[in-house]
Structures are given as C-alpha cells and as structure tokens.
Amino acid sequence: MKAYSESGGHAGLPVPRLALNEGRTTYGAWINFRDPAVVDILAAEGFDWICIDGQHGGAEIHELQPMVEAAHLFSVPSIVRVPGHDAGTLTRVLDTGAGGIIFPTVEDAATAETLVAACRFPPHGKRSYGPTRRSPRYPAPVPGNPQEDPLCILMVETAEGLANLDAILAAGPDAVFVGPYDLSLSLGMTFEELTGEGPGGVLAGIARRVAAAGVVPGIYTGESGLSETMTGLGFRFMPIATDSGLLATAARGAVSAGGNIGPRKVQGAAATS
C-alpha cells in the first residue's frame, strides 16, 4: 500500500523491533533531553531500547522524529512516552516510526481499549494510514500485519488503575508499565514503602497478575539498584538508566576525582591579600 505523497523508495534499512515476549528482561535508557545527539551516544552503548519521554521530558512533538531515527541508526528499538491520550498527537508520534508507545495514567477498560485500537491498523484497530513523515531510510509499515504495529504499553500509576487492572489487561496491550512514583502518591504510601515491600507487596502482585494475563510487566526504575530489585519481583521491562541521571552521576564523579587529585591552588602562584 502506497500513499501518493509518500517517497518513491527507501534505503532498505530494517526497522529495529523490540520483542518483549521472548521471556527475557530488557533494560533500556530513558531520554529526558531533547537533543538527538544524546540518543546517538546512548544508543551506541547497546541498551535494549531507548524511550524518549514526551510527557515530562524536554522534547516537543516536532522534535521526536530525528530522535527516533537516531536510535534506529544504531539498530536500537525506539519507544516514546506520549504526553496524554490525544489521538492527534498519537498519530503524529506513530508516523515518526516509533516502535512503541507508552500511554500515561490508564485507569479503566474503555480507555485501554481505545488506546490499543489506536495503535493497530484495521482490521485489528483504528489507526489511520499516512506514513509521509517517516524517513525514507525505512520502509513504510504494512497495514494489517500485526508485526508492523507498534508496541502498545499502558501505564498503571493510580489507585483507580490498580483497581481496574484486570479490565485493562483484557484490552490486550503488549505491556503494562507501572509508574511507582505516582502510584505511591495515589495509594498514600512513600515511594520507599511501595518499592520496599518485597514479594508480598503491591508491586509484586501487579507483576504476577500482568504476567498471568500473558502481558509483559514493566516498571519505571531509572537506575541499576532499583532495577535489580524490580527484576526480582518479576518485572521484565524497565529503564536501567536516564540521560540526566548518567550526566549527574558522571559530574559528581568528576568533581570528586578532581578533589582527590590534589590542591587546586597552582604551585608558585602569588598569594593574594
């Protein structure tokens, strides 16, 4: 299927796909900055996937395409967290070629069904066909082929969403992604209480229920220690690092190393009064 305004050819580069259902845990990098060069640097290091945060991150919708392509040039699958449930915004993000969409704050079955359908071409859903914004480096998607559809990932991050988890799962998303910060606020717990409950806690229960429904359980972590804990609870999809966190950690390390090298005063410099 070809749109009249679509480019006549493409470079034949394969679009990287993230297979969440292979039974292994995948660890990604979370992008808060808006510069494609940041994606270049992190994608080159071999993360399983890159997620560009369009909800709380710096990138605007019109800036997403070069960031998605930066990940794809390193054969790293791309995911975008969209700012909400707006159909127009979603269409523009899907047309960039993003391989997965994370939707924030899904709280009921009707919303879940609408969002899943929006990610699927007919006859499986209601996504509109129009790949004219996509780079001609990559072939256009094939409507009707489920392998061409982006991953639909629904965030459960409120008490209401947790109460309706089974109904949300019944809509058939590819993954459920827990937002532990907002969920802890909604449940009246501290973040430390929620993430420290262990195998008998709320998060472990979510992971078990999601996996039992044949859906991949994911959670926002952003650093290795929490990622290890959440992996132990059964989660199989999480960012193990963020660009801003990596920069801050490296900066602290550099300042500390500079302090350990020796005094900053240059030997022989004249004293000032």
Residue 56 a catalytic site member:
yes
Task: Take residue 206 and report the two structure tokens written for it.
Answer: 């979510």
Choosing from 56, 62, 72, 124, the catalytic residue is: 56
Close Cβ partners of 226 (under 8 Å, ≥ 6 residues apart):
195
User: Kindly report the CA angle at 205 between 203 and 211, in degrees rounded to 5?
Assistant: 105
Close Cβ partners of 11 (under 8 Å, ≥ 6 residues apart):
136, 137, 138
Backbone angles phi, psi at 43, to 5 degrees: -65, -30
Close Cβ partners of 191 (under 8 Å, ≥ 6 residues apart):
180, 181, 184
Residues 104 and 155 sit within 8 Å (Cβ to Cβ):
yes
Residues 239 and 52 sit within 8 Å (Cβ to Cβ):
no
Active-site residue numbers? 56
